[in-house]
A and B are shown apart, each in its own frame.
Chain A
């Protein structure tokens, strides 16, 4: 009856506007429209959007131009605590694995005796050294020392590295042929940052009790290796200017876990030229020709630890360097594996 019919026909009801199909939407020959617009309509709308976006981009650039006037060419707008970079420098290492092949990898891994393998690694160090060690007399540089010659706003300290060190190109930085790879460790540059020394009081005087307290505190709370503590005392004792000796960033590298420490005992780790980055390099003020000071750390992998992946953590030590393993604050992590 009527009801049934009505229902059926209401189902088959067609909308005149629909049912043309997607093909017709792309190009409708009747209406001459392509994607629902005629050529003229397309041109109009495209011109509108070209003008619109040009104006918008112009507005953006104007804003940015005005803003850029507030920036300084030589120093960042915000420094230290005001900037997000903060006052806690991180630590960097070289050589780095090939990031294209192994993104986010920090594994230094080579086969002993395979030249091409080793060269990939020591070549990086070679390049790095060439870049970082400038010849004496380079404009805007000077030679600094413990005796009070420090970096100024205009002159940066030259990075000095003795050719007599083990970690040189001559030795292929320990990668070839022996299994004693060198890893370059450096402190991140932070504009205006200087290390706070251990054991120096507010009057800029050496205070052994303070040093004792500072170091014990670090040993107790921050796992400062005892060897470093001893090393600092030794350095202080033999130095003529304890304050300048202490104004430095100390370094320590060690296996990360107990197992790693077993695989690579502390005695197998040596530092060149010194186990510290001297304080006269600081502060970094974006001086022209400022080059990062560094420490070469040599890992003498025991024969028994070949083919083992050893996690290594290198840490920088100063009173104002905080440490957090997860966030890699004041430290760097990498792995070594020698086959």
Chain B
């Protein structure tokens, strides 16, 4: 309240109308059918009802010149008020509008936060155009539509223009014609990529191109061999090409299908969100009320809106009985608002009252449609993990192509034929590409997504699973995300003291003042519990009535209980409900005590109440309301207001018996009972309280090195109060204004460096240049943006992204959706979230709880770590698959590991163990380290490649080659004999190739031997991968410290082994996969190497732990 007004110059520059006020009697109705049925009259254009402002500019109406507000237009009246500060103020400067004396408004006890003007919101759509400059036509279009004066012109003129009639509605023919012209009243769904395009992407993404190339080479080799060597009758080799080509192609197809299926599956989950029960609306057509599908509504339709319905389109309300609408989705306000003209309400449930209105815009042309359109036109940002995967794929593909080309050249130079060289190329590609890895990663992500879904984080795109882990900034909406989106009583002021209301028990129930206050609070209210909730705890009972009254009722029920009974005992004789002129609510009861006088109870805006009071109750004693008391009142009121709370005043009085008895004839027009002097009993303040778990969650985010920023459309004071409460602004940090207040200087004099926190108003933001924004975002650690428009939310997100931050945005409203879409990860609320926001988001918090984000962050970081392990594990045997080929080419020995065996490893035995790493627990405390630096902490680092390829991979290669040489030697081919034997070995023409012992081997026998060796090599890799899997569990600590709690991993080892056995020993595998049964002890050949791998890696980790920051860690810590 002590905020300095903004410099006039600035305001006037903006062509704004400032009402220094906040006591807007919200309820001004534009067109209210008079109760006497005399037709529509423009209700008091309520604009100037906007009165005292307690802050600098949120009362301002930023209006672009293209629509200057028409004086007298009802539009302005829709400014709702923020009554929390209730100080009366004078207009800062003359407004062109007639100014009526400020009236305290307390409409049905409801808080009416100061809205940004409708005008401001209407301005939004040009921002849409801004974002896509290329679409100038669209922009023009949008602008044109913006010029709408549908809300301001006379109602009759509106009817004329829409060629409709309030009594008859449209005719069917008109409606049909209009429907044909403007289409269904539904948001155009975002453009769907055709299914085949999606599928094609999966077939061509990642390693697929390389694999296709390999398959093509196979088929070419097959064709060439068939064409030129058809004289060879049993063309053993060329069949292999055909076979291999088919296998490669099927691998690509199957993994493509798999990831397509995964994507389709997560898409389907989303589709379930989209399918809302078809809504109907009551429409007046041909003079009759009929139920029509919401989608069939057209402009000009006269619709009835009732309790519980959703507003079907942008409508201008023409009649209303206490209609209030929840516009929080558009504005971020917590509360339902009394409404006249409604913008965009396709999906907003509206709360109480009934009304009738005329449709002025449908479908995409509604305000919500525009924001949704803005959101859907934003490009999806690439997720960090997909960047990582792209990087990884390009690195591995690069390595594959490098090796492939290198050895192609070498083999040609060594005198191999082109065909042979091409075969080598295929082999090298197959060996180098981790065929199963992308599918494995998909599964890992899906597993995490599943796990997160159990913890109430639903992930729409699998890749978004990791994004939260990389997040460095969270821009959180306030209402419904940080707060409960439910008003509740937070403080009371009585006996001259502010009491905070928490759980039951911290208030002295016997305090006579409290009893008086509670009596008023209980009696003066219309809200009641919905029936049939006996079993439900008080806190969760559903209440019929507006938010503030509900809050009071809930509070009273919790603190004292039996409110309904109490009300029944003290029979209500008369009441004046809240309305726009009175701004208070009164009810008169036959109070059931010794005193026969009737009890009048009243609540309303504190100033209004105080004005009427002469006395004040203090510790049960009635005292004169002195100036001193007024000061105390002011102070308390200010304090509560500063906390962003909405304050209600309460008073009562005993009506004189001589005049008012229970037989008194109460009359609505007779308010003589208000002439009495009232007794002030106290203040009760309400706030939409933060969710309980939020402060902890914010703290967790902080420790995890994540900046939490609040971006809300709500009022700055409320925003700041909530920010303080949840820890977005930490206790020690002050804003510039607060410092100024503390030091008693003006804000300009404060050293800005002193302030660590900032509350930035949307209007300020509007003035910012991009550099200003950068500076602010960089300078303040704790920022709250209040009164922001959807477009500004977007700007803020982009501002952070420009600084290289990975931004998460949480929000539930339509107004959040552009920011949600633009964010690296948009998090929408599952319960309260609008469909548009869910559509734009990447993740949905099913329980609307901000704390679930922490889970998401943890899971995201964990999956990144685990994916790293998974990639490391899978890449390791790549080199063990490659080396045989190199030796085959360079030493001309029989091929130690066949291509099919490679595929068996990559797509068979490796898959489950790699996936099991996704179940690993975090190594270090994930939530205590800073978010990863996307430029440095890559998924695949050069250390990872060097270690897996250069060291462990080489050990596996040696293990495999050892098995190969042993089996060759035992069967007769000593290593010396093998060198250079390749050509005869692989030629079916040689049916009698001699070994080291003079035995002569047929081609068939040789191939069996070769396949046996290949199988042994395969088994050796499997055995080494046991050790490798165990060492993959941890990157730094000892395996023994980490423990073996991952049962999936243990199972994976068994599974891998079982699979290898099946591949080895199943009859028929010799022909199908060229796998031969092995002697049992051949399995042991790799064991020394597996032990070596385990010991070596333990040693490596020991050195890394002992010498942090050493050269060794630099080189070998991946």
Contacts and interface: CB of A to CB of B under 8 A. Distances in A.
Interface in A21-63: 36, 44-45, 48-49, 52-53, 56-57, 59-60, 63
A258 interface: no
B798 interface: yes
Contacts of A1: 127, 130, 791
Given A103-B983, A104-B232, A76 B997 contact: yes
Contact of B770 (A2, A60, A84, A284): A2
Nearest to B934: A15
Given A59-B1092, A86-B1005, A67 B966 contact: yes
Nearest to A288: B998
Interface string A68-104: 1001001111100001111001111100110100011
Given A3-B798, A84-B1005, A85-B1005, A188 B989 contact: no
A247 interface: no
Nearest to A96: B989
A36 B995 CA distance: 48
Interface stretch (B27-35, B881-889, B947-955): B947-955
A74 to B, nearest CB: 8
Interface in B1050-1082: 1076
Nearest to B988: A104
B991 A76 contact: no
B941 interface: no
B989 A6 contact: no
Given A6-B802, A13-B802, A85 B1001 contact: yes
B998 A56 contact: no
Interface stretch (B99-107, B617-625, B688-696, B968-976): B968-976
A221 interface: no
Contacts of A96: 989-990
Interface in A150-193: 186, 188-191
Given A6-B798, A90-B1000, A311-B233, A104 B1005 contact: no
B987 A104 contact: yes
A99 B998 contact: no
Interface stretch (B665-673, B719-727, B830-838, B957-965): B957-965
B945 interface: no
Contacts of A116: none
B955 A3 contact: no
Interface in B567-619: none
B804 to A, nearest CB: 7
A304 interface: no
B1000 A190 contact: yes
B234 interface: yes
Contacts of B1000: 89-90, 92, 188-190, 292
B394 interface: no
Given A3-B791, A49-B950, A328 B1003 contact: yes
A222 B661 CA distance: 125
Contacts of B804: 13, 15
Contact of A105 (B131, B231, B801, B955): B231
Contact of B991 (A2, A188, A335): A188
A298 interface: no
Which of B133, B237, B802, B1076 lies at the interface centre, i.e. has the most chain A CB atoms within 10 A of its CB? B802
Most buried by B among A63, A186, A286: A63
B1012 interface: yes
A299 interface: no
Contacts of A286: 997-999
B508 interface: no
B1111 interface: yes
Given A6-B802, A329-B1002, A104 B989 contact: yes
B376 to A, nearest CB: 15
Contacts of B205: none
Contacts of A68: 969
Contacts of A311: 233
Nearest to B769: A2
A148 interface: no
Contacts of B1004: 90, 324, 327-329
A336 interface: no
Contacts of A63: 962, 1088
Interface in B444-470: none
Contacts of A309: 231
Given A63-B1088, A86-B1005, A103-B983, A75 B997 contact: yes
Residue from B795, B961, B1000 having most chain A Cβ neighbours under 10 A: B1000
B773 interface: yes
A202 interface: no
A189 B999 contact: yes
A68 B966 CA distance: 8
B1005 to A, nearest CB: 5
B738 to A, nearest CB: 27
Most buried by A among B773, B1005, B1076: B1005
A315 interface: no
Interface in B212-271: 229, 231-234, 237
A280 interface: no
Contacts of A7: 131, 798
A206 B966 CA distance: 44
Contacts of B965: 64
Given A77-B970, A103-B983, A189 B954 contact: no
B1113 interface: no
Contacts of A57: 958
A106 B235 CA distance: 12
B1115 interface: yes
Nearest to A1: B130
A282 interface: no
A2 to B, nearest CB: 5
B999 A76 contact: yes
B221 to A, nearest CB: 14
B998 A107 contact: no
A282 B1092 CA distance: 46
Nearest to A287: B998
A299 to B, nearest CB: 18
Q: Which of A53, A56, A191, A309 has the most CB of B within 10 A?
A: A56
B992 interface: yes
B733 interface: no
A312 to B, nearest CB: 11
B1107 interface: no
A92 B987 CA distance: 13
A281 to B, nearest CB: 13
A17 B969 CA distance: 53
B1009 interface: yes
A84 B1008 contact: yes
A331 to B, nearest CB: 9
B120 interface: no
A78 B971 contact: yes
Contacts of B417: 103
Interface in B656-691: none
28 contacts: A2-B792, A3-B795, A4-B131, A6-B802, A9-B770, A13-B802, A17-B935, A59-B1089, A60-B958, A63-B962, A64-B962, A64-B965, A67-B966, A71-B970, A77-B969, A83-B970, A83-B972, A89-B1002, A103-B989, A105-B231, A188-B1000, A188-B1002, A189-B994, A191-B999, A284-B999, A326-B234, A327-B1002, A329-B1004
The 8 A-B pairs of least Cβ separation, nearest first, read A92-B992, A90-B1002, A188-B1000, A6-B798, A77-B970, A327-B1004, A76-B972, A84-B1009
Given A71-B969, A85-B971, A85-B1009, 12 more contacts: A6-B770, A52-B951, A56-B955, A76-B997, A84-B1012, A90-B1000, A90-B1005, A96-B990, A103-B987, A105-B231, A309-B231, A328-B988
Interface of B: 127, 130-131, 133, 229, 231-234, 237, 417, 768-770, 773, 791-792, 794-795, 798-799, 801-802, 804, 935, 942, 950-951, 954-955, 958, 961-962, 965-966, 969-972, 974-975, 983-984, 987-992, 994-1005, 1008-1009, 1012, 1076, 1088-1089, 1092, 1111, 1115
